[in-house]
Structure 1
Amino acid sequence: MSKQGVRRLAFWAAASAAAFALLWLAARGGALEQAHLSISNLLFQGREGRAAPFIVLVAIDDASLARRSMGEQGTLRFGKAEYARVVDALADAGAAAVGVDVILSEASAEADVRALVDALARHPNVVLAAMPGVMGAGALLPLPAIASAAEDRLGSVLFRPDADNTVRRVIALTGDMAVPEAFSVAVLRAALGASERAQATVPGPYEITSRSVRLGRVRVPSVRLPLDERGRFVSDFFGPPGSYRTISFADALDGRLVDRAGQSVDLTGAIVLVGEMGTAIHDEQYVPSSAGARMSGVEIHANAIQTMLEGSYPREASPAAHAAMAAAVFALALAAFLLLAPRPAAALLAAAFALFTASVWIAIERGVVLHTVFPPLALVGAFVCAFSFRYADEARLSARIRRLFGMYVSPHVVQELVERPELVVRGGRKRTVTVLFSDIAGFTSIAERTDASELVEQLNEYLDAMSAVVYRHDGTVDKYIGDAVMAFWNAPLPQEDHAARACLTALDSLAALDDLNARRARRGQDPLHARFGINTGEMVVGNVGAVNRFDYTVIGDAVNLGARLEGANKAYGTRILVSEATYLAAKGAVEGREVDLLAVKGKAKSVRVYEVMGRAGALSERAQKVKAFFSEALASYRARDWDEAEALLRKALSIAPDDGVSACYLERVRVLRVDPPASDWDGSFHAKEK
């Protein structure tokens, strides 16, 4: 695995562990719980309503209260006898159970109380409301005679909202001996004919044994309640307030069992709950499906009963499980984001959000409540962490690239490498590169007669001037070896015109050297003369060296040839010698002439070498004539026509007496006349010096 891969793996492991720890602490501390509950409520509100038709409400509504108010001098309570009449009407209509969600604790006339006591005796499936003791206060029960008649048919109507003031849980077992179970549980037990309460251990299941009765059109087996450590279960909600069929209490008093639409209501096998639903009565709570409106207590009981019958208890994992799930999402997302480029990562983030949203909807329809905040928070956190790491890693890589190349290549090449770090070769690989070598002619003699500190100053001035030209043509300065400069092109960035850049660098370096020599002349210093050797070929380019110290460089035979060509200038009296490969690649940018078939020292195979004379189209008429005479002389020389070659060379020298190449060949002609080459001679020259 690469070092970058190891860093990413280490970051992934550390970030995933930190995410789990933070999520676990957040889950345990209830952080973001309010946001989760609010979003969960919206999901409940988006579900299609499906209130059970066999659960019917009898509402003590505004119409009922108005009627009672006129009859009893403003009191908002009905008499016990009127409750008895309604209970009789509902039970006689075939109701499986009747629950009265009103605590009948107010004093009444004996006859009034007796009417309700008799009704309770006639109908053992009637349950009354009570309130268990809270915070040291005693239980609030119906009048003693009524409570005695009801026996164990009392149910708690106590609700405890969650932190967001929303009721989600039913306190099935209160722990109060006077009112031991919830109103909804007591009503359901009555409907199922389970006269005895089961023993319960919390947390754990609480079972209501059924006689397999029929509620509406459904035959109900035993019912099991999954209770938590506080004796509660989570209730489902099957629609917003007003979802259940409702009969007005006033209509029931008159024996008219019709709903609010005027339709007759069949109560055979139904569970009927009587409760206050008037605007002047505030027995209301917010529930997940409220949509901003409070739900009456009696309707909350109806939802709890339907939940128990259907077994559709919303299931939500523990805080630790939520944290573990979100941490797993974080770890998987972080791994993906670390591997992907920004655009695919952003697309994956959007897709993950869409998938999570769909999963939440599907889960809520199946009664599973997923945490609505932690997983998306984990996704966003993973995205931010991944790209923060990548940004830091790229910044580190950019700094490394600047450190590696800032001293060797031009600033805008460095910037492009920073933007495209994949172009930086790790290790080495083969590619076609153009390499340039240059040094100062006669530098040894200059060094011998110059003070060391002054020599360093002069050398730095020269190297600054030469390096600036290399940078101007986007070259890479490989190294300085005394007075010598080694540079190359087409690495680390690809450059199609790399050969032309190298040749133009040599020409511009000579111009820069002329400027430098003018300054040196004003200081009374001797001029400097530089020579250049350039070759293009396949080389190994990359970071070469020890683990803790390496250079970005090129190596190979093609590199050595470039160095040999720089040294060969001395023999020909030239300043810029290039290989045939370089000259052909740069021909559109420069002009020159073929100089020789040269076998450099240490190599048996000869290569064509050329002198670069100037930019394309910029040769003077004098230089063009010299080039033409020499080219003809070279052809005669290779044909062994010594006389013709000599005549042409002298013509070239008559135009340019300082033409070192013509002078070199004139000397060769003199030697070869005396000592002709072998019959298989191909015109090549074998160098004896480097």
Structure 2
Amino acid sequence: MSISDSLQRSTWLGPVLGATISIILGLFCFDSIMPVTEALRHKSYDLSFHLRPRIIPEEAVLVYMDDASYQEFNPGYTRWDRALHAKLLDRLTSEGAKIVVFDIIFSEANGENPEADAAFEAAIERNGNVILGADYVTAGSSYSMKQAEMLLPPYEPFEFAAASTGFVQLHEDTDFMVRRHYHSGSLNPEITSMTWESAMWSESPYIESRESASGREAQQAWVNYYAEPRSLPSVSYSQAVAEDQLPEGFFRDKIVLIGANIRTGESTQRKDEFRNPFVDWEYVSQTDRFMPGVEVHATILLNLVRGDWLRRVPLSYQAVLFTLTGLVFGLGIGRIRPLVAISVTLLSMALVIGLSQWLFQQHRYWFPWLIIVIVQIPAAMLWSITFNAARLYVQRQLLRQSLNLYLSPRLVKAFLNQKNRNFLKPGAEKQEVTILFSDIAGFTTATEGMDSDKLARSMNAYFQRMVENGIHPQDGTVIKFIGDSIFALWNAPEPQKDHALRACNAALALDQQSFEFSKDHPIKTRIGIHTGVANVGNFGSNNRVDYTAIGENINLASRIEGLNKYLRTNILISAETREKAGEGLKAVRYLGQFRLSGFGKKIGIYELLQTNNAFSSSQKLQQDFNVAMARHDQGNMLSAMELFSSILKECPDDGPCQFYLKRCQDIHSKPTESIDPTLIVIEEK
């Protein structure tokens, strides 16, 4: 079976291929590590926050070591005076802060000011709920299999005084956004994060033990951002250490995190800042786009304290999901029309976005829904449009080939440009048409003994010439080839005001075509034309229809064509055709009233002549013939015979004169019979 046949016959081929493509693309984007597919997964996470209301938790307060504090206490942007930290800690202790978390590395003693170190150590010990940050390093080479993970703890007196210690490093993605919780070392599970230690110390009901930091639940935790950068409750370090800047009890029962929030400075190194999903697609200043590292820590810590971290749908479920969505959208969109497919695509996208937001907001689950919205659904739609366009193109070409068998090239083009293709649908309607029938005179004799292959080639060549040189130039519709006959119509399926004249001109062109099956057998085409009402349309069974015309006028046209055999003429037309054709016909002669086999009514018959015919070029012969016909109709057979005989002397091969001369002789020889001379009855078909 050819590709075009497959496109035409299989209603499921396109949808199945579309589903396959959609599934493959979905699973590829789900599993691939390419930057573009990774970006799709990341943006699915990021954009989910844009449709969710902002949340401002009250459990924590951030103390920012900001530019104002640096200008007041550390204008050189060097090491801070630890006595200030001691002062801040004492205030937090006196106000009853729940825990205090320093997002600062105190890795060594301050040799220039040991008194400040001692004051800070004492303040840590007095508070009893201080969590300090430590450096987390991986030493060795992965190639040598001698890697080791370790914490570089704070200055030893501070570490002993603190409630606990954890690493401060955050697990950022390539776009500088922290999306996942990262609470334990991959090689040493006993190493935990500062936020995990802080959550344990705050007695969060969602944290079981230090060992659970490396458990499955913690490993699958994703950061649940609450709002834009710098949205969590915060104060400046300078405000916190001042006695009159904040109301009394401001820090009571709060988790306090202390860290840097520098927007300016002389350091050329990258600041401790990260991207935030809420402003990722919004226009904000460069300084407001990033979230301070301490606020990221605070967000993760609040996730652990509140138990509202995010979870990603398990990977196995995602693989099943992308397979099902590819199957559903590929099969569904692939079976509908392009315009409807676009509407269904938009509706499907909205449905997937709605489902993802419901999971995100109500159950805190997320999955890479953009793979479905941007890849799978559009791929299914584009494939549907492409496949249907290809199928439409094939249908159009097949239709063109089919119409070329019936219509002229001009009509084919006109039909293909029509939006209304009702002529292809089953059914028929009554309309006036001009019908042409032709056949080959002496066909049996001319083809007797001829090889079947040669006969087929000869007939095909004959039909080709007749159609191309006669029927199609006059925009006729070839209904069918019947043996050696041609059945053609005008005024259907395309309306034509001059359909009768077109059919007559086509007949004259057919009559001029010379053709022979062999040198000894030149052939002559006989043609009959009639104009009348017929049922025109598609007739047939449920599985096959033919465009054709039926009715008594079709049969009458066939009988008129057969009348040529009796009158020894080439082209006969009915009186109805003569009237419809009007003055456009240059050479015709009236041949009388005939009652043809199978018809009760009589019909006027005219012969259509070439303008260069000997008879049509002689006005005298035409006048003599008309007078002879009048004498015949009056019953004056002797006078009619004399005139017909006179004409035959000049045109010995004139068929109508021979026919009427014999008829006059027959009537004259039987004077006792009652015969209507004006009506000629043909009993045979």
Q: TM-score, normalised by structure 1?
A: 0.73
Equivalence for 1:166: 177
Task: Give 1:28 deviation, angstroms.
Answer: 1.4
Q: Is the 8 A contact 1:169 1:233 kept in 2?
A: yes
> Which is worse superposed, 121-130 or 192-201?
192-201
Query: Tell me, which stretches of 5 or more residues in structure 2 are unaligned?
Result: 139-146, 281-285
Instruction: Specify the alignment match of 2:504 in structure 1.
Output: 503
Task: Indicate if the aligned counterparts of 2:183 and 2:192 stay in contact, CA closer than 8 A.
Answer: yes
Greater mean alpha carbon deviation, residues 299-308 or residues 46-55: 46-55
1:567 to 562, 565, 589: 562
Secondary structure of the residue aligned to 1:390 is helix
Pairwise CA distance, 1:299: 0.7
User: Counterpart of 2:510 in structure 1: which amino acid?
Assistant: S
Task: Give 1:273 deviation, angstroms.
Answer: 1.0
Mapped pair 1:380 → 2:390: no
Equivalence for 1:266? 250
For residues 426 and 40 of structure 1, the distance between their equivalents in structure 2, rounded to whole angstroms, comes to 48
State the one-letter code of the partner of 2:251.
L
Contact 1:423 1:493 in 2 (8 A): no
Q: Do the aligned partners of residues 157 and 621 (structure 1) sit closer, same or farther apart at CA in structure 2, a change above 3 Å counting?
A: same
8 Å Cα contact 1:166/1:286 also seen in 2: yes
Shift of 1:532: 0.4
Q: Deviations over 1:450-507 (max 9, x none)?
A: 999999999888655533111212334566678x441423698534455543232112
Provide, for residues 226-253 of structure 1, a one-character-per-residue CA deviation record: whole Å limited to 9, x for no partner: x756625111223333223432223323
Deviates more, 1:239-248 or 1:41-50: 41-50
C-alpha deviations, 1:171-194, integer Å up to 9, x for none?
Answer: 245578896543334434444576
Range with bigger deviation, 359-368 or 663-672: 359-368
How far the C-alpha of 1:36 sits from its partner, in A, is: 1.6
Q: CA deviation at 1:268?
A: 3.6
Of residues 255, 277, 280 in structure 2, which corresponds to 1:288? 277
* Alpha-carbon displacement from aligned partner over 1:13-35 (angstroms, at most 9, x marks no partner): 23312421332133112343333
Which amino acid is the alignment partner of residue 129 of structure 1? G
Aligned residues with identical type, % of pairs = 23
Listed one character per residue, the Cα deviations across residues 83-108 of structure 1 (whole Å, up to 9, x for unaligned) are 23212212333433322222333225
Gap change, CA 1:28 and 1:334, over 3 Å in 2 = closer
Letter of the 2:224 partner, please give it.
Answer: D
Q: 1:475 to 1:111 in 2, by over 3 A?
A: same
Deviations for 1:17-67, whole angstroms, at most 9, x for unmatched residues? Answer: 242133213311234333325645773785675443553211122343455
- Counterpart selection for 2:236 from 245, 248, 252: 248
Counterpart of 1:58 in structure 2 is 63
Per the TM alignment, residue 274 of structure 1 is displaced from its structure 2 partner at its CA by 0.7
Letter paired with 1:509: L
- Residues 322 and 374 in structure 1, CA contact (< 8 A), matched pair in contact too: no
Residue in 1 aligned with 2:143?
A: none
State how 1:494-643 maps to structure 2 within 5 Å. Answer: 494-497=494-497, 498-510=499-511, 512-513=512-513, 516=514, 529-535=524-530, 538=534, 560-579=555-574, 586=581, 590=585, 598-601=594-597, 603=598, 605-606=600-601, 608-611=603-606, 613=608, 637=633, 642-643=635-636
State the aligned residue count. 642
The question of 1:136 aligning with 2:148 is answered: yes
Matching residue within 294, 298, 313 for 1:302: 298
Q: Distance in 2 between matches of 1:451 and 1:34?
A: 73
The DSSP-based 3-state class of the residue aligned with 2:100 is strand
- Give secondary structure in 2 for the equivalent of 1:494: coil
Instruction: Say if 1:348 and 1:650 are closer, same or farther in 2 by CA, change over 3 A.
Output: farther
Identify the residue that residue 95 of structure 1 maps to in structure 2: 97
The one-letter code sitting in structure 2 at the alignment partner of 1:7 is S
For the residues of structure 1 that align with 2:621 and 2:319, how far apart are their CA atoms? 87
Per the normalisation by structure 2, the TM-score is: 0.73
SS at structure 2 position matched to 1:142: coil
The amino acid of 1:285's aligned partner reads F
User: Which residues in structure 2 correspond to 1:138-537 (within 5 Å)?
Assistant: 138-151=150-163, 153-174=164-185, 181-191=192-202, 197-198=208-209, 228=216, 231-258=219-246, 266-278=250-262, 279=265, 280=267, 282-289=271-278, 291=280, 293-308=289-304, 312-318=308-314, 325=321, 331=327, 334=330, 338=334, 341-343=337-339, 345-346=341-342, 368=366, 370-401=368-399, 403-404=401-402, 406=404, 409-416=407-414, 422=421, 425=424, 434-441=434-441, 465-467=465-467, 468-477=469-478, 484-489=484-489, 493-497=493-497, 498-510=499-511, 512-513=512-513, 516=514, 529-535=524-530
- Determine if the alignment matches structure 1 residue 123 to structure 2 residue 107: no
CA 1:569–1:161 in structure 2 vs 1: closer, same or farther (change >3 Å)?
A: same
Counterpart Cα distance in 2 of 1:469 and 1:459: 16
| Residue of 22, 25, 29 corresponding to 2:28 | 25
Give the counterpart letter for 2:250 in structure 1: D
Deviation per CA, 1:71-90: give whole Å up to 9, x if none. Answer: xx9741332x4323212212
Alignment check: 8 A CA contact 1:401 1:417 kept: no
C-alpha root-mean-square deviation of aligned residues, in Å? 5.4
| Equivalent position SS for 1:171 | coil
Structure 1 residues 585-594 or 402-411, which shifts more?
585-594
**For 2:49 and 2:180, how far apart are their aligned partners in 1?**
17
- Does the 8 Å contact 2:527/2:572 carry over to 1? yes
> Gapped runs of 5+ residues in structure 1?
204-226
Most deviating of 567-576 and 603-612: 603-612
Look up the SS of the partner of 2:257 in the other structure. strand
Q: Deviations over 1:609-646 (max 9, x none)?
A: 53253799xx9897799699969968994xxx534x98
**In 2, Cα distance between the equivalents of 1:355 and 1:558?**
61
Alpha-carbon separation, structure 1, partners of 2:406 and 2:131: 92
Q: CA shift at 1:558, angstroms?
A: 5.7
Contact 1:594 1:631 in 2 (8 A): no
More displaced stretch, 385-394 vs 340-349: 340-349
For 1:99, what is the secondary structure of its paired residue?
Answer: strand
Find the aligned partners of 2:453 and 2:403 in 1 and give their Cα distance. Answer: 28
